[in-house]
């Protein structure tokens, strides 16, 4: 660096350094060239400091500064001085001072960036991903990266202080049935065989418990080859943990302590523990989803019993076919226009609803509704009481199979909240969801599949139903939901081989297959496996919510596009025939792109 040593950063320089000679190094954010006097906003990771080039201070630097352009990398030696009266800039932290340059070194030039690194304006994500190194220079991106770092640091120190061991598990592992599609890695030394990248270190961490290590954690990459979403990337990071000799309450206490600390340390925000707890059943009944945003009301209400006997045929038929009729009272939203209601109906039918019945409650309690005539006065009274309906309210109804009603009304609830700004910004609503069903019937596969994963322990009191009525067995699983987004999930595991075998049976996983795919786990359980359980957190999602971002891409340094491509490196890419041959792979050239 031409013999200069950096003495300060562009954030921490204050009036305490007045008249001192300092050396700053960073990037040229903006140049304001007045001809006789030149100002540079110098940016580094920490912040911005104004540098002044004046001929009377140092003529040569002033001359040289004319050639500075955006994103040139420079070193500046100069004197810290107070800005003239009235020239302070309260918008930046170093706004009281400036550095009068006595020596300017251009460490590197830069092509004009494809987009402005100033904070204003949205830039297409294409460009941001292609020039990720430029995007990451922008302060709000740096903030996300730093927040993520601090979250990880806090997690580590919290768990370290509670006797956890950080242990790495393999990335090259074996493909197991159930769950997401695996990313596969061909083996060179075992022709025709493949490793799989882990969807989670689930089996390894259980084996660590059998190993007697008692408390494990790891901040670890996981891989799932499924379609992407704003909160889903093919590779993502989990805080993964597992503990022996604990039950649900121990984990919940530990995690609540962790989150309180995280929010306090990184955001300076106090959150209240214990968090709200809902059983899966309650969550579905009241919010229509197993990941409810509990920061506002608009809860769902079952009126199947009233609907069963009312004059509206579709309601009757749905109930007699074992479906349900549920309603939302949208308090005070009776001013929705005809167009609003058409939009909302379109929203509902887009989710698979056949329609969306509604009732406006007018002054005096009369009903304005296309379906009003099908209800007797008695039924109207019953509905009004059940839903606590008052003039100015509008009621929305869903009638269908239970799962469909929950999906439609659950989403409608969110939509209503968005339209009326009921979702409090900056507030964090944590909810535990417990007592999940252990398994559910999969029509396509014609068998029961795990809701969580096959190693989740059934609730003791439901154990005997495992063979008789598997759909009604509840599990010892728990999810943590934050603002309607699942940020963590875990369970108490099965630690007895006999129970594990019974669960495999209920899942129609044959003894042969279980032995082949999970034999090592079954065998391990027979060597003194302690009771254990754990949880995993989606680090990306947690940091996204803490940072107030809408996508996890904004808190990942190098995310992939919707098509799982990296626009920076252009991965995935073709490989040579020689590489393929070495792996005993034969490409179908018809499907090879380009």
Partner RNA sequence: GGGGUCGUAGUUCAGUUGGUUAGAACGCUGGCCUGUCACGCCAGAGGUCGCGAGUUCGAGUCUCGUCGACCCCGCCA
The nearest distance, CB 135 to RNA, in angstroms, is 12
- Residue in the block written with tokens 């409090």: 424
Binding footprint of RNA on the chain (CB under 7 A): 30, 32-37, 39, 41, 50, 52, 54-56, 69-70, 83-84, 87-89, 91-92, 95, 98, 112, 114-116, 118, 120-127, 129, 178-181, 199-200, 202, 224, 226-232, 350-351, 407, 449-454, 551, 553, 561-563, 565, 567
The nearest distance, CB 357 to RNA, in angstroms, is 22
The tokens describing 63, both together, are 């001359």
- Between 112 and 576, name the residue whose CB sits nearer to RNA: 112
Contacts (Cβ under 8 Å, ≥6 apart) of 15 = 82, 96, 97
The stretches of 300-376 forming alpha helices (DSSP H) are 304-309, 313-320, 338-350
- Between 129 and 328, name the residue whose CB sits nearer to RNA: 129
- Between 242 and 393, name the residue whose CB sits nearer to RNA: 242
The nearest distance, CB 416 to RNA, in angstroms, is 17
SS3 labels along 389-458: CCCCCEEEEEEECHHHHHHHHHHHHHHHHHHCCCCCCCCCCEEEEECCECEEEECCCCEEEECCCCCECE
The nearest distance, CB 264 to RNA, in angstroms, is 29
Helices (H) and strands (E) in the chain, counts: 17, 22
- Between 122 and 588, name the residue whose CB sits nearer to RNA: 122
The nearest distance, CB 384 to RNA, in angstroms, is 33
- Between 205 and 215, name the residue whose CB sits nearer to RNA: 205
The nearest distance, CB 159 to RNA, in angstroms, is 20
The nearest distance, CB 11 to RNA, in angstroms, is 15
The nearest distance, CB 504 to RNA, in angstroms, is 13
- Between 238 and 369, name the residue whose CB sits nearer to RNA: 238
Q: Please give the angle made by the CA atoms of 206, 220 and 495, to the nearest 5 degrees.
A: 10
Spatial CA neighbour of 103 closest among 76, 80, 66, 81: 76
- Between 98 and 393, name the residue whose CB sits nearer to RNA: 98
Contacts (Cβ under 8 Å, ≥6 apart) of 190 = none
The nearest distance, CB 369 to RNA, in angstroms, is 28
Q: How far is CA 396 from CA 306, 330, 344, 390, 464, in A?
A: 15, 7, 10, 14, 40
- Between 52 and 303, name the residue whose CB sits nearer to RNA: 52
Q: How far is CA 413 from CA 292, 299, 347, 400, in A?
A: 10, 8, 11, 17
The nearest distance, CB 538 to RNA, in angstroms, is 10
- Residue in the block written with tokens 């954010």: 29
- In DSSP terms, 450 is beta-bridged to 439
Q: What is the C-alpha to C-alpha distance for residues 258 and 542, in angstroms, rounded to an integer? A: 12
Residue 515's H or E segment, with its range, is helix 511-525
The nearest distance, CB 263 to RNA, in angstroms, is 24
- Between 98 and 242, name the residue whose CB sits nearer to RNA: 98
The nearest distance, CB 227 to RNA, in angstroms, is 3
Do residues 187 and 195 touch, judged by C-beta distance below 8 A?
yes
- Between 307 and 477, name the residue whose CB sits nearer to RNA: 477
- Between 203 and 258, name the residue whose CB sits nearer to RNA: 203
- Residue in the block written with tokens 């096959």: 454
Spatial CA neighbour of 203 closest among 473, 448, 534, 443: 534
Residue 466's H or E segment, with its range, is helix 465-468
Eight-state DSSP code of residue 553: G
The tokens describing 247, both together, are 């039950």
The nearest distance, CB 532 to RNA, in angstroms, is 15
Spatial CA neighbour of 132 closest among 549, 571, 546: 571
- Between 107 and 449, name the residue whose CB sits nearer to RNA: 449
- Between 93 and 386, name the residue whose CB sits nearer to RNA: 93
Q: How far is CA 46 from CA 137, 153, 188, 267, 385, in A?
A: 11, 19, 46, 17, 58
Q: What is the C-alpha to C-alpha distance for residues 341 and 355, in angstroms, rounded to an integer? A: 11
Eight-state DSSP code of residue 365: G
């Amino acid at each position: 660096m031409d013999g200069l040593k950096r003495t300060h950063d562009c954030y921490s320089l204050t009036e305490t350094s007045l008249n001192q000679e300092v050396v700053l190094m960073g990037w040229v954010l903006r140049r304001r060239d007045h001809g006789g006097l030149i100002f540079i906003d110098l940016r580094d990771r920490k912040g911005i400091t104004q540098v002044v080039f004046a001929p009377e201070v140092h003529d040569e630097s002033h001359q040289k500064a004319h050639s500075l352009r955006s994103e040139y990398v420079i070193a500046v030696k100069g004197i810290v001085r107070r800005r003239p009266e009235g020239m302070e800039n309260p918008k930046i932290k170093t706004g009281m001072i400036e550095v009068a340059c006595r020596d300017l070194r251009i460490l590197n030039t830069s092509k004009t960036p494809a987009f402005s690194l100033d904070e204003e304006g949205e830039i297409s994500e294409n460009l941001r991903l292609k020039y990720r190194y430029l995007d990451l220079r922008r302060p709000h991106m740096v903030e996300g990266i730093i927040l993520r770092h601090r979250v990880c640091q806090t997690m580590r120190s919290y768990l370290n202080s509670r006797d956890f061991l950080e242990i790495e598990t393999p990335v090259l592992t074996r493909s197991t049935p159930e769950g997401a599609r695996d990313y596969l890695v061909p083996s060179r030394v075992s022709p025709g065989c493949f490793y799989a990248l882990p969807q989670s270190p689930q089996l390894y961490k259980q084996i660590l418990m059998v190993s007697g290590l008692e408390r494990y954690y790891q901040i670890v990459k996981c891989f799932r080859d499924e379609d992407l979403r704003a909160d889903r990337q093919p590779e993502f990071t989990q805080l993964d943990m597992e503990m022996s000799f604990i039950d649900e309450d121990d984990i919940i206490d530990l995690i609540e302590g962790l989150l309180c600390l995280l929010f306090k340390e990184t955001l300076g925000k106090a959150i209240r523990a214990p968090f709200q707890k809902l059983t899966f059943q309650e969550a579905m009944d009241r919010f229509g989803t197993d990941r409810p945003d509990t920061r506002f009301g608009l809860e769902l209400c079952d009126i199947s019993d009233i609907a069963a006997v009312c004059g509206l045929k579709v309601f009757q038929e749905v109930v007699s076919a074992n479906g349900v009729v549920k309603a939302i009272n949208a308090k005070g939203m009776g001013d929705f226009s005809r167009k609003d209601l058409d939009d909302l109906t379109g929203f509902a039918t887009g989710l698979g609803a056949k329609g969306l019945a509604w009732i406006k409650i007018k002054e005096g309690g009369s009903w304005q509704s296309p379906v009003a005539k099908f209800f007797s006065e008695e039924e109207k009274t019953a509905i009004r009481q059940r839903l606590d309906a008052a003039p100015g309210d509008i009621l929305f109804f869903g009638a269908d199979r239970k799962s469909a009603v929950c999906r439609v009304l659950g989403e409608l609830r969110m939509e209503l909240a968005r339209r009326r700004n009921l979702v409090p910004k900056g507030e964090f609503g944590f909810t535990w969801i417990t007592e999940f069903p252990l398994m559910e019937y999969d029509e396509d596969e014609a068998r029961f599949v795990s809701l969580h994963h096959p190693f989740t322990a059934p609730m003791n009191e439901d154990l005997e139903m495992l063979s008789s009525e598997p759909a009604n067995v509840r599990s010892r699983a728990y999810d943590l939901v934050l603002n309607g987004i699942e940020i963590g999930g875990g369970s108490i595991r099965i630690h007895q081989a006999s129970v594990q075998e019974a669960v495999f049976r209920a899942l129609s996983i044959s003894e042969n297959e279980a032995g082949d795919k999970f034999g090592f786990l079954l065998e391990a359980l027979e060597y003194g496996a302690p009771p254990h359980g754990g949880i995993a957190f989606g680090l990306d999602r947690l940091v996204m919510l803490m940072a107030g971002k809408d996508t996890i891409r904004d808190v990942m340094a190098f995310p992939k596009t919707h098509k799982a491509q990296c626009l920076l490196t252009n991965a995935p890419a073709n490989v040579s025939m020689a590489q393929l041959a070495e792996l005993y792979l034969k490409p179908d050239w018809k499907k090879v792109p380009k």
